[in-house]
Every structure is written in structure tokens, then in C-alpha cells.
Amino acid sequence: MTFICGVPSAELPPSSNSVVILRWLCPLCSDQDQMPGEECGLCLGRGAITQDTADTWLTMAEPGDPPLRPAPVPPAVMRSPCRDCAFRPGAPEEDEQPPVERPFYCHHGMPVVNGAYAPTAWADGKPLGAMVCRGWWAAATGEPLPAEAYRPANDGWGRP
Ligand SMILES: [Zn+2]
């Protein structure tokens, strides 16, 4: 699975054009400080690596090399999928789930204007302060999707 969508690795991060997920802590430098002026050849000083880099690492790893450990989930990702998460079985979006190439936000707490979600603050085309959907995070990182079936919220807009 590719976790770098549409940009060569030299461009990450930052990039406002795509999602880049550094899913694994760098096995070479995440537990130690680098010497001043020295850059880790695996993570290029980021401290974490993409799935593609991890796959390459695993093909070259030798016995005794440090194991891969998952990077922390960012604090703006919902802790668990909502009962009406778009990534649950039976969700209205089940046949056409939101693409993993761009961030997808949880609708809970988002204002609705004329039947559409209407965030009140934006930055770089993204709703400022909105929480990232936990189901989307699972899809984007290759985790299992939420197993429990979709249960609609009472008003259809995520409000209990
Ligand atoms: Zn490193």
C-alpha cells in the first residue's frame, strides 16, 4: 500500500497537495539523538518513516536490527470510529468511501448550513480544528476498518 500519494518523497513534508503518513518510528534514530549536523539516512531526520520506507527496511533488515514500532496516532484523529462512521459496514458511503489520498473529517460538531457541513474556519483548504475521521485513518494506514455496523444518528447529521 502506498502512503505517499502523488508526491515524490523529496517533497514531504510539508506539502498541501496530499496526505503523507509517517506510520512507523524510525528504527535507526527514534530512540537516540543524532550527532549535530548528522542526518539519519533512513528517515532524513524526521524520526518516522512511511510504509514504503518501512517495507524497504524490512527487506534489508538483519537479525538483531531494531523492530518497527508504530508512530503515535496524531491527537486530531478521533480516538474511535463514530457509530455513524462512513467506514462502517452499511454506511451510506459504503460503496463509495472517501478517498485515502486526502484527509477526511468527522462530521460530529460541524455546523450544518442548508443541508451541508459548513466549517467556520479554513486553512490551506482544510477545515481548521476539525477532527480527522478514525475510520478514514484506519483506511489510510492499512488498519482493519471498523467492524461494527453503521448506526445512523437521530437527525442524520451526526447530532444525537
Ligand atoms: Zn532516522
pLDDT, tens digit (0-9, with 9 covering 90-100), for 90-117? 999 999 999 999 899 999 888 989 988 8
132-158: pLDDT as tens digits: 999 999 999 999 999 999 998 765 554
Sequence-separated contacts (24+) of 41-50 with Cβ below 8 Å? 46/13, 46/22, 47/22, 48/22, 48/23, 48/24, 49/22, 49/23, 49/24, 49/25, 50/3, 50/4, 50/9, 50/12, 50/20, 50/21, 50/22, 50/23, 50/24
Q: Give me 30's grid cell.
A: 527514534
Distance 76 CA to ligand 1 centre (A): 24
22-76: pLDDT as tens digits: 999 999 886 665 556 678 888 988 889 999 999 999 999 899 888 899 999 999 9
Query: Residue 7 has what pLDDT?
Result: 36
Distance 133 CA to ligand 1 centre (A): 28
Kindly tell me if the per-residue pLDDT of 4 is higher than 50.
no
Distance 25 CA to ligand 1 centre (A): 8
Distance 48 CA to ligand 1 centre (A): 7
Distance 33 CA to ligand 1 centre (A): 10
Distance 73 CA to ligand 1 centre (A): 18
Q: How many CB atoms are located within 10 Å of the residue 51 CB?
A: 17
Distance 8 CA to ligand 1 centre (A): 19
Query: Residue 124 has what pLDDT?
Result: 84
Distance 64 CA to ligand 1 centre (A): 17
Distance 45 CA to ligand 1 centre (A): 6
